[in-house]
Amino acid sequence: MLKRVVGIVPVVFGVLLLTFLLVHLVPGDPVEVMLGESAPMADRDQLRAQLGLDQPLPVQFGHYLVALSQGDFGRSIHSRQPIADTLLERLPATASLALCALLIAVGIGLPLGIIAALKQGRWPDGLATLLSLSLSAMPHFWLGPLLMLLLALWLGWLPVSGMSEPGAIILPALTLGFGLAAILTRMTRASLLEVLSEDFVRTARAKGISERKVILRHALRAALLPIVTVVGLQLGSLLAGTVITETVFGWEGIGRLLVESIEKRDYPVTQACVVVIALSYVVINLLTDLLYVRLDPRVRLVT
C-alpha cells in the first residue's frame, strides 16, 4: 500500500508540470484581461510584477511547488480570494453531481446488462445492445441540450439550468449517467455471460437453488470484478466530464470554475482545478484496487 501511495507522487508531479506549461503556453495575457488592451505599458508591467508573472517560468513553477507542498493553492489573480476556499465551496456541488450520475448509471446499466445476458440472442438483448450503443455515441455537449429541450422546455418537468430550484441536479446527472450506463450495460452483459458457463453456476443449479439466487449471489458476484474496474475508472472520468456538463447547465462546481478560470487566464485557479480532478482520479483508482481484494481474495495487490 505504501508503495502504491508513493507511486502517486510522480503522476501528480507530471500533471502539475504539464498543466503549468500548457496554461502558460495558451495565447492570452491575464494582465490584459484585467486591465484591458488600452492600458499603459507601465501599468501592465507593474501589475505583472505584483503577480509574479515577470519571473522566468522555472522560478514561477518552483514557487508554486513550494506553496503547494505547504497546502497553499495560492490566490486568484482576479478576485485575490484564497483558492482553497473557492474549491471547498465548489467541490460539494461536483461531488453530488458525480454521485447522482453514478447512481443513475448503476441503476440503469446493471439491470439492463443482466437482462441482456439472461435473454441472450432474444429481443431484450438486442434492445439493450441498441440502447447502450446509442447512448455511448452521444457526447455530453449534444445530449445535455437535447435533454434540456425535451424535459425542461417542451415538457416543463425540470428546471433548465442553475442550482437553486428543486430537481435541478436531475438533468446534468442524467447527461453524465447515461453515457456510463451504456458502458456498464455492455460490460455487465459480457462479464455475466462468461460466468454463467462456469462449473460453479451449474453446480448451484444442480443443488436446486432458485435461479434468482444463482444469478444474484453466485454469478453476479463473480462477474463484479471487471464491472468494478469500469465503475472506478468511469467515476474518475465523471469528475472530468463535469467540465462540459456543468458549463451547459450552469452548475456551480469545479468543472465550471475550471472553464471560467481558463477564460480569464487565471493561472492559479486553473492549475488548482486540474490538480483536484487529477488527485480524485488517482485516489479513486487506488480505492478500486483495494476493492478488488475485498471482492476476490485471489487478487493480490502487486507493485
> Which tens digits make up the pLDDT trace of 91-149?
888 888 888 888 998 888 888 888 888 888 888 888 888 888 888 788 877 888 888 88
**C-alpha cell read off for 10:** 510522480
Distance CA 231, CA 248 (A): 24
d(CA 137, CA 302): 35
Query: Measured between alpha carbons, how far apart are the two ends of the chain, in Å?
Result: 9
Percent of the chain with pLDDT over 90: 0
Q: Report residue 70 as a C-alpha cell.
A: 505547504
Higher pLDDT, 45 or 169: 169
pLDDT tens digit sequence for 271-299: 888 888 888 888 887 787 777 666 666 55
What is the number of residues in the chain?
303
Predicted structure pTM score: 0.79
Q: What residue has cell string 445476458? A: 117
In the prediction, which pLDDT does 303 show?
Answer: 44
Is the confidence at residue 26, as pLDDT, over 80? no
- pLDDT at position 300 is 58
Residue 277 and residue 282: Cα distance in Å, rounded? 9
Domain residue limits, the chain: 2-69, 91-295
Rg, Å, the chain Cα set: 24
Q: Kindly state the DSSP code that residue 99 receives in the 8-state scheme.
A: H
pLDDT, greater one: 86 or 44: 86
Higher pLDDT, 3 or 100: 100
Q: Which fold has domain 91-295?
A: MetI-like fold (1.10.3720)
Burial 10-27 (b: 16+ CB within 10 A, else e): eeeeebbeebbeebeeee
**Cα separations in angstroms, 122 against 116, 118, 128, 129, 294:** 8, 9, 10, 11, 35
